[in-house]
Structure 1
Amino acid sequence: MSFIKKIFGSEPKQRAVTQVKDLQINDMISMSDSFGLPSLIRDQQFQVTAINCYEFEHKVQTEWVLSGQSDIELYLSLEVDDKTYLKFSLKIADNDVETLFDLEQFSTVFDEPGNAVLDRLDNSELTLDWSDISYQQQAYAQVGYFHRKDNRNSQLSAYEGKDSGEQFELYTLYNQDENKGIDIEVWQDGDTDVFLTLFRPVTDIVDMYPGS
């Protein structure tokens, strides 16, 4: 057998995925059936369809774009503090924001020095299980750069220009337990993206395996 292997070569070893930080495009993840997860995530499988990154002054955060059975894209990143948590982000539309919050109160997020409090009015069908009753602002106009590239194998430009990424300002709020939040990204052309965020233990991903 060893003689045959020498002639024909052995089969290439398949890549194993054991940690979230090693996920690549086309890899798959399977989620827990925990009732602490929104129905959009609970007991679902997702495929990584793109990898981006957010560059800030003191850190670069990798983002995995996830696609599942629904048409709704989710965004996964790792929040590293004393422990490492999964951060899921759900992009919501203007009508969802109008359902969730009083717009006059929502506009105070953009007032200096950034101490806004947002109280939920109601949920839309999309935001159910994702939102909380109240949020306190934690970040005001934090400058960042969005790169449509994987920072783990691509060098990010330290200079302005075509490779410097898309500049934006980040406004962040958290609920009392800091396990749910809101990220608001304001781009240089005035476009604004709003995300509901959810922080979960890494054990909520029960399986990972490489894509084809």
Structure 2
Amino acid sequence: MGFLSGLFGKKEEPKRQLDHPSKLDKGDMISLDDSFALPPQLRGQQLRVEAVNTYEYERKQQTEWVLKGHGSDTIFLGLDEDDETYLALSIKVNRGLVEQLFNLEQFSAIFEEPGKAELTTSELSPELATEFEQWLSPQYHQVTFAGFGYFHRQDYRGNKPPQDADGPTGDPFESYQLLDDDEDKAIDIEVYDGGETDVMLTLYRPLSDIRDYWPGA
């Protein structure tokens, strides 16, 4: 038997099956559809998972996959799970861009009670339109006001983040969200201690926009 097993070698380990975004791990790659329905930052891109993070809320956890391709943009992927599951694809925009994309007076109302702000997208320059038009809708309405959570730079799928006050409890933040009338585009805002604020433009897209998966290991 020893001779035979040496002759034929060890059985090859079965490759990890990767057929759904919920199974993505660091180092895996995906390719996106080349449809013109997608903005240029996404269209036909091959993206690698650089990190897997966790958003912890009172009643749920959400996984965030940080994706990088050949371009300079970092893409953030989440899953919007309701009756159906959709990809939530986001890019961050800095304060300078926020000032160009939106009316700042309307934008500041997002952080004021009762949290029912209406937001109109500004008229875009040709350069901004090329880059951001497909990420944006003309009008948004607020649906979340000061939702509390913790952000963990760690993958806690299948586990609860640590609750020990002396251990790593994540970064506390307040979340604000606005949706367009079709509910296929959103503005997601996170405000952290000290006032650091992340503003994300989000698209909700079908799972089929991921055309291929490549396991990293």
TM over 0.5: yes
Q: Output the amino acid matched with 2:37.
A: G
> Per-residue deviation at 1:161?
4.0
> Per-residue deviation at 1:7?
6.5
Count of residue pairs brought into register by the alignment: 212
- Counterpart of 1:128 in structure 2 is 133
| 1:89-135 Cα shifts (integer Å, max 9, x gaps) | 11001111001111111100011010000001133354231111010
> Per-residue deviation at 1:13?
1.9
Change (3 A) 1:178 1:8: same
SS in 2 for 1:76: strand
| 1:3-48 Cα shifts (integer Å, max 9, x gaps) | 3468631122221211111101110101112221111101111000
| 1:178-208 Cα shifts (integer Å, max 9, x gaps) | 0000011000111111000000000110111
- Higher helix share goes to which structure? 2
Distance 1:154 1:166 in 2: 18
| 1:66-105 Cα shifts (integer Å, max 9, x gaps) | 0001011010010001100000111001111001111111
Q: TM-score, normalised to structure 1's length?
A: 0.94
Q: Output the amino acid matched with 1:179.
A: D
| 1:137-186 Cα shifts (integer Å, max 9, x gaps) | 00000001000100116541134343211000000000000000001100
Say if 2:79 is the partner of 1:74.
no
Distance 2:131 2:167 in 1: 36
CA RMSD in angstroms, aligned pairs only = 1.9
SS in 2 for 1:65: strand
5+ long unaligned stretches in structure 1: none
Say if 2:193 is the partner of 1:192.
no
5+ long unaligned stretches in structure 2: none
Q: Output the amino acid matched with 2:87.
A: L
Distance 1:160 1:141 in 2: 23
Say if 2:109 is the partner of 1:108.
yes
Percent identical residues: 43
Do the aligned residues in 2 keep the contact of 1:16 with 1:209 (CA within 8 Å)? no
Distance 1:33 1:70 in 2: 15
- Counterpart of 1:151 in structure 2 is 156
Do the aligned residues in 1 keep the contact of 2:88 with 2:202 (CA within 8 Å)? yes
Distance 2:53 2:19 in 1: 20
Distance 1:114 1:107 in 2: 11
Say if 2:32 is the partner of 1:31.
yes
Distance 2:88 2:207 in 1: 9
SS in 2 for 1:70: coil
Q: Output the amino acid matched with 1:116.
A: A
Change (3 A) 1:167 1:9: same
Q: Output the amino acid matched with 2:24.
A: L
Do the aligned residues in 1 keep the contact of 2:31 with 2:210 (CA within 8 Å)? yes
Change (3 A) 1:163 1:6: farther
Structure 2 counterparts to residues 84-95 of structure 1, below 5 A: 84-95=85-96
